[in-house]
Each structure stands twice: as structure tokens, then as C-alpha cells.
Structure 1
Amino acid sequence: MTDPSRRDGRLGVGIIGAGRVGPVVGAALAGAGHAVTGITSGSDDDRASAVLPGVPIIDALEVVRRSELVIIAVPHDQLSPLIAGIAEVGGWQLGQLVLHTDPAYGIEVLRPAAESGAIPLAVHPAITFTGTSVDLRQLQAGYAAVTAPAAVLPIAQALAVEMGCEPVVIAESDRAAYADAIQTATEFSKSIIAQSTARLGEIGVENPGGFLSALVQSTVERALREASSESPLL
């Protein structure tokens, strides 16, 4: 692991998970001046390489070895076994920042890394990722749910800001409720739009998605403005 004090606090960032989330988060942090040390192989390495050109593809243990900050963006059911597996082989390092992006977990899932001396952070950017550079603009308009031990909460908040998001602190005990809210918003929206476009298609409307675009966007924006005016969080 390189010297964490180099480049005025800039970090070597490694990414485990080359799906839609990990490469974009890495690119956002690279844009803030951090250096991406490597990324694991994933389902679409070409897409990841387009977002992070020139970043070496290496295995997970090598990502951990090279990095002061490890971003873990893997499917929900893989997160816990991955953390534990790296701990079993002594991979985690003292003082290393370990950050996962899963909405449903706080920092408890990172306990094996923390017991090895790593610093656990949970930061979930609340956008729907496409895995392309388009997401970088979405991050600039988004929020991120942040969970971390009190002593290092400012670090997690600062990383969320460097990703482009406004951090909102979510308690460990509230992560399940938070994940349910996020899933409800995304799945319900997708389901309703799919139903509506299908009905329009059945009656012969061409390009039903385009037909509904302005209506859906304006309706959602109005609903969000109304929710924001009622919510102390926003």
C-alpha cells in the first residue's frame, strides 16, 4: 500500500466490482484528484474500460494490496462473503478505508475488515446507474446515504461530496428501511411506466416512451417538489 499522505491527502483507490456502479464511482473520485490503482474484472470489461481508461484489471486481493481506499460495488448477496473471504487470508490492512455502496447494508457487514484494522464506510449514491459517463452528471445532482462510525463520519461525508453527491447520514439501524424506500421508488416507477407504455402501444401510439417522457418527468418533478417541501431531510 502506498503512502496515504502523498499528494496532499489524495488516495490510491481500488475498485472491487466492475458492474455499473464501481467504475463510475471510481471515475468520480478520479475526477476529484484520487488515483485509481486497479479494478477487478466484471461482466462488461469494455464498458468499465470506457469509463476508466488505462486502469489495470487485477484480482481482488491485488486491489486491496495496492489501495488506501477500497470501493466494493458487488451484488448484494456477494458482499458479506467477499469481505469475510479477504479477511480470512489477511488481506485487509491497518488504517485502510473500505467503502461499500450497497443500500441495504450499513457498516456491520464490514466487521471482518474492521477487525483487521480497516476503517468501515457505507456510501450509497442514490441514483440509477447506467455504468456510463452519463452517471457522472447524475451524481452531481444526487444525494448519497452515508453510514460510518462517528469518529470517521466526516471522511465518509467528504468522499460522498467528492463523488459529486450531497451526503445524508443514515443510522445503521435504519439501513433496511432506507433500502426498502429506494427499492420501492425504483421498482414502482419502472413497473408503472412499463404498464403505461404497453397500453399506449396496444392502441397504436408510436414511440410510447417518448410520448410519456414529458408527462412522467413533469409529474415526478412536481411530486418531488411537494415531498421536499414537507420533508426536513430535503
Structure 2
Amino acid sequence: MRPDQRSGRLGVGIVGAGRVGPVLGAALAGAGHALVGVAAISESSRERADALLPGVPLLTVPEVVERSELVVLAVPSDQLPALISGLADTGTWQMGQLALHTAAGFGVEVFEPARRAGVIPLAVHPAMSFTGTSVDVGRLAGTHFAVTAPAPVLPIAQALVVEMGGEPVVVAEADRAAYAEAIETASGFSAAIVDQAVGMLRAVGVEGAGRLLAPLVRSAVENALARADDGPAL
């Protein structure tokens, strides 16, 4: 199906029931899309899929791909290239199908094996730390998503982000690695600093160290981000 022939409602399949996939699936379902299936392997991922996507069939990866107009690949980055090429080798991809991955460090070049089968590639990364619970669905509102796609279908990727409540930010293919490094630096550094501060407070007998630090950390981060958006001081 050509992008310009699509109705507003897509049959969406989710591959990967970690912390990200079911949340995006729930958001897309809330926007009116139909979830046709989710591929979940581990017991914890099946439980998460059941909690966030009740009633959505648990399918194998090939079954999800074969039944979907939009396939969301929410798998670890190191598994993504092999998954895409493996589905191409088995002839599973469908002509005109939309395929979206959520890996920060990849653009759409990773979809090359699928593109040769007629797949329309989209790279969409939500810049958010996920818990894998229903709380995340609400947190998507206002979250920025890095979007990379071929120019003719970029509006499709942007529209999907808006439907999930997010704010699309276009990131060029060549800049995805730098974008991923910035995301990892922010999330990893923040977690490490908080863990270190909590440990120091616990060492001196402070109870509820996390609750004590929460207002401080939130306000400090918000102030730092406000300064960043305001630009350099004169």
C-alpha cells in the first residue's frame, strides 16, 4: 500500500515487548490505530504486553510482520541489523509496508535489506527514560522524538509522533550517532550522579535519600535545561 493511499487507521504490529514497544503500541492504539499483534519472548515481556496491550494477540515475529501495515521494531540496538536482514532473507517483509525502529543510534540506512523488498523505512526515537508501565503513556505527551526518514515520507513519521503526543525533531542520517551519544551521556550521567549522591547520604545515616534529593535534582536539571534553551549568557 502506497503512503498516499493509506487511510488514517493502520494495522500496527509490535516486535519487542521490552519497556518501549508496548508503550508506543498503547499510544498508537489510543490514536485510533489497530494493534494486530505483538511479539514477546520472555515471561516478563509477555506479562508487560498483557498489561499494556490487553487483548492484543501474542504472535511470532514473522506473523507480526506479515499482518501489519506498520511494523514497530522496539528491540535492542545490537539486535536490530540482524533482525531486519533476517526478515529480508526469509522474504517476510511486505511491499509498501511501513517499518519503524526506535534505536537512537540508527537512521534508515539499517533498513536497506528491507527497502530492497519495498519497505518504507522510518527511524523514530523517543528521548525519554521508560519504566515499561502505563505511566509512560502519559509521559509521552510533550516528549521529543528524533525522526529520520526519506524526505517523501518524513511527514508520515512526524505525524505518527504527533499522534503519540510527542514533538518530532528531525535528525539527519549522518547525525544519528552523535544524537545517540548525547542521549546516552545525559541519561547515564544523570543516573550515575544520583546513585552516587544517594550512596553518600545513606553512608551518613540519612533515610529516604531518594525523596530528599528528588526536588533538588529536578529543580537543578530544569534550571540547567532552561539555561541551555536560553542560549549562552552575555
- Place the TM-score, normalised by the shorter chain, in its bin: over 0.9
Identity of aligned residues (%): 60
Aligned to 1:224: 225
Gaps of 5+ in 2: none
* Counterpart contact for 1:48–1:131, Cα < 8 Å: no
Aligned to 2:20: 21
Partners in 2 of 1:123 and 1:141 — Cα distance? Answer: 15
Aligned to 1:40: 39
Q: CA deviation digits over 1:78-112, x for unaligned, max 9?
A: 10000000000111111100000000000000111
Q: CA deviation digits over 1:8-44, x for unaligned, max 9?
A: 4200000100100000000000000000000001332
**Aligned-partner residue type, residue 152 of structure 2:** A
Aligned-residue RMSD, C-alpha: 1.7
* Counterpart contact for 1:4–1:10, Cα < 8 Å: no
* Counterpart contact for 2:99–2:120, Cα < 8 Å: yes
**19-28 vs 6-15, which moves further:** 6-15
**Aligned-partner residue type, residue 37 of structure 2:** G
The two structures have a TM-score, normalised by structure 2, of 0.95
Gaps of 5+ in 1: none
Q: Shift of the alpha carbon at 1:216?
A: 0.4
Q: CA deviation digits over 1:31-80, x for unaligned, max 9?
A: 00000000001332112211100100000110011000000000111100
Partners in 1 of 2:115 and 2:158 — Cα distance? Answer: 19
Partners in 1 of 2:3 and 2:156 — Cα distance? Answer: 14
Q: Relative to 1, partners in 2 of residues 1:21 and 1:216: Cα closer, same or farther, differing over 3 Å?
A: same
Aligned to 2:168: 167
Show the 5 A alignment for 1:187-226.
Answer: 187-226=188-227
**Match status 1:79 vs 2:80:** yes
Show the 5 A alignment for 1:33-182.
Answer: 33-43=32-42, 44-182=45-183
**Aligned-partner residue type, residue 30 of structure 1:** A
Q: Relative to 1, partners in 2 of residues 1:113 and 1:230: Cα closer, same or farther, differing over 3 Å?
A: same
